[in-house]
Amino acid sequence: MITASYEGDALKGTIRVPGDKSISHRAVMLGAIAKGTTTISGFLAGEDCLSTIRIFSQLGVDIERIGTDVTVKSPGITGWKNPVEALDAGNSGTTARLLLGILAGSNVTAEVTGDRYLCKRPMRRVTTPLKEMDARFESDHETGTLPLTVKGTQLKEMSYNMPIASAQVKSAILFAGLSAQGTTTVTEKAVSRDHTERMLRQFGANVQSEATSVSIVGGQSLQACDVKVPGDISSAAFFMCAAAMVSGSSLTFQDVGLNPTRTGIIDVLEDMGAKVSIKETVGGEGEPYGELTVQSSDLRGVEISGSLIPRLIDELPVIALLATQATGTTIIKDAEELRVKETDRIEAVCSELRKLGASIEPTPDGMRITGPTKLKGTILSSHGDHRLGMMAAIASLVTEGPVQIEDASCINVSYPGFFDHLNSLTQSKH
Ligand X SMILES: C=C(OP(=O)(O)O)C(=O)O
Is 345 labelled as part of a ligand binding site? Answer: yes
Residue 194 in contact with ligand S3P, rule: CB under 6 A: no
Note whether 346 and 335 are within 8 A (CB). Answer: yes
Residue 341 C-beta: closest distance to ligand X, Å: 4
Residue 94 C-beta: closest distance to ligand X, Å: 3
Residue 235 in contact with ligand S3P, rule: CB under 6 A: no
List residues near ligand X by CB under 6 A. 48, 92-94, 314, 341-342, 387, 414
For the stretch 127-159, what's the b/e string if a residue is b when 16 or more beta carbons lie within 10 angstroms of its beta carbon?
A: bbbbeebbbebebeeeeebbbbbbebbebebbe
| Residue 20 binding target from ligand S3P, ligand X, none, CB below 5 to 8 Å by type | none
Is 16 labelled as part of a ligand binding site? Answer: no
Residue 279 C-beta: closest distance to ligand S3P, Å: 25
Q: How far apart are CA 245 and CA 227, in angstroms?
A: 35
Note whether 46 and 412 are within 8 A (CB). Answer: yes
Of residues 344-403, those binding ligand S3P (CB under 6 A): none
Q: How far apart are CA 187 and CA 209, in angstroms?
A: 10
Count the Cβ atoms, other than its own, within 10 Å of residue 361: 11
Q: Which one-letter DSSP state was computed for residue 182?
A: S
Residue 324 in contact with ligand S3P, rule: CB under 6 A: no
Of residues 39-98, those binding ligand S3P (CB under 6 A): 94
| Residue 387 binding target from ligand S3P, ligand X, none, CB below 5 to 8 Å by type | ligand X
- What is the chain's length? 430
Beta bridge partners of 278: 292
Residue 202 C-beta: closest distance to ligand X, Å: 21
| Residue 171 binding target from ligand X, ligand S3P, none, CB below 5 to 8 Å by type | ligand S3P
Residue 337 in contact with ligand S3P, rule: CB under 6 A: yes
Is 152 labelled as part of a ligand binding site? Answer: no
Of residues 293-322, those binding ligand S3P (CB under 6 A): 313-314
Q: Residues with catalytic annotation?
A: 314
Count the Cβ atoms, other than its own, within 10 Å of residue 83: 18
Task: Choose, by CB under 6 A, the member of 58, 127, 145, 168 that binds ligand S3P.
Answer: 168
Note whether 6 and 31 are within 8 A (CB). Answer: no
Binding mask 195-224 vs ligand S3P (x if CB under 6 A, - otherwise)? Answer: ------------------------------
Chain residue at closest Cβ approach to ligand X = 93
Task: Choose, by CB under 6 A, the member of 167, 173, 323, 349 that binds ligand S3P.
Answer: 167
Q: Which one-letter DSSP state was computed for residue 312?
A: T
Can you tell me whether residue 108 is helix, strand or coil?
Answer: coil
- Which long-range contacts does 62-71 make (Cβ < 8 Å, 24+ apart)? 63/28, 63/32, 68/18, 68/19, 68/41, 68/42, 68/43, 68/44, 68/229, 69/39, 69/40, 69/41, 69/43, 70/27, 70/28, 70/31, 70/39, 70/40, 70/43, 71/37, 71/38, 71/39, 71/40
Give the chain's end-to-end CA distance (angstroms, integer). 16
Q: Give the β-pairing of 366-371 and 207-210.
A: unpaired
Note whether 94 and 50 are within 8 A (CB). Answer: no
Nearer to ligand X, 311 or 387 (CB): 387
Residue 196 C-beta: closest distance to ligand X, Å: 13
Nearer to ligand X, 188 or 314 (CB): 314
Can you tell me whether residue 370 is helix, strand or coil?
Answer: strand
Residue 145 in contact with ligand S3P, rule: CB under 6 A: no
Is 339 labelled as part of a ligand binding site? Answer: no
Task: Choose, by CB under 6 A, the member of 51, 58, 171, 185 that binds ligand S3P.
Answer: 171
Q: How far apart are CA 19 and CA 415, in angstroms?
A: 9
| Residue 92 binding target from ligand X, ligand S3P, none, CB below 5 to 8 Å by type | ligand X
| Residue 88 binding target from ligand X, ligand S3P, none, CB below 5 to 8 Å by type | none
| Residue 188 binding target from ligand X, ligand S3P, none, CB below 5 to 8 Å by type | none
Task: Choose, by CB under 6 A, the member of 6, 9, 18, 22 that binds ligand S3P.
Answer: 22
Q: What is the residue-wise DSSP string for 12-44? A: EEEE-PPBPHHHHHHHHHHHHHSEEEEEEES--
- Interface stretch with ligand S3P, choices 5-13, 167-175, 286-294, 348-356 (CB under 6 A): 167-175
Report CA torsion sign: 231, 311, 167, 128: positive
| Residue 127 binding target from ligand S3P, ligand X, none, CB below 5 to 8 Å by type | none
Which residues bind to ligand S3P, rule: CB under 6 A? 22, 94, 166-168, 171, 193, 313-314, 337
Q: What residue numbers does the annotated binding site for phosphoenolpyruvate cover?
A: 21, 93, 121, 168, 345, 387
Q: What residue numbers does the annotated binding site cover?
A: 21-22, 26, 93, 121, 166, 168, 314, 341, 345, 387
